[in-house]
Amino acid sequence: MDFGCGAGFDLYVASRIVGKDGRICGVDLTQEMVSRAVGNLASAGATNFEVRKIDSEDLPYPDNFFDIVISNGVINLSPRKSACFREIHRVLKPGGRIQFADVVLENDLPAELAGSLEAWSQ
C-alpha cells in the first residue's frame, strides 16, 4: 500500500515490482489525486491495483493485511502523525515492512513560518 499515493507514480513502480500475481493499493486524502492515480495507472496498462479515497487517517483495510507500506512526503503533512503510524502498523502483517520518506524538523521553526498556513502546505 502507498499511503498518500498522489498521482500514482510510486504505485506504478510497485505494480511492476509485484508483477501480475501481486496487488497494489493506494490511498489518498483527496478525490482529485485518487482520480489522477487511477487514470495514470490505467493508461500505463496496470491492472493489479486499486486506489481509494480515505477520510482522515483511517484506512479502509483490515488488520494484518499488507506485506509492505510505502509513503513519500505525506506523514509530514498530517497534524495527526501518531494516527498515521498507528493505522499503518495496524494494517501491516506481523513482520511487514514500512518504507517512507518525509521532511523532519531538527529545530523549532521560526515563529513567522510556524504560524503561516501557506508555509504548512509548501
Ligand X SMILES: C[S@@+](CC[C@H](N)C(=O)[O-])C[C@H]1O[C@@H](n2cnc3c(N)ncnc32)[C@H](O)[C@@H]1O
List the alpha helices (DSSP H) in 7-114: 9-18, 31-43, 81-91, 111-114
The least CB distance from residue 107 to ligand X, in Å, is: 22
Using Cβ positions, the residue closest to ligand X within the complex turns out to be 6
- Residues forming contacts to ligand X in the complex (CB under 6 A) are 4-6, 9-10, 27-30, 33, 54, 57, 72-74, 77-78
Smaller CB separation from ligand X, 105 or 111: 105
Could you tell me whether strands 49-53 and 66-72 are parallel, antiparallel, or unpaired per DSSP bridges? unpaired
Are the CB atoms for 27 and 57 separated by under 8 Å? no
Q: Which three cell numbers stand for residue 116?
A: 503561516
The least CB distance from residue 50 to ligand X, in Å, is: 15
Smaller CB separation from ligand X, 9 or 85: 9
The least CB distance from residue 103 to ligand X, in Å, is: 10
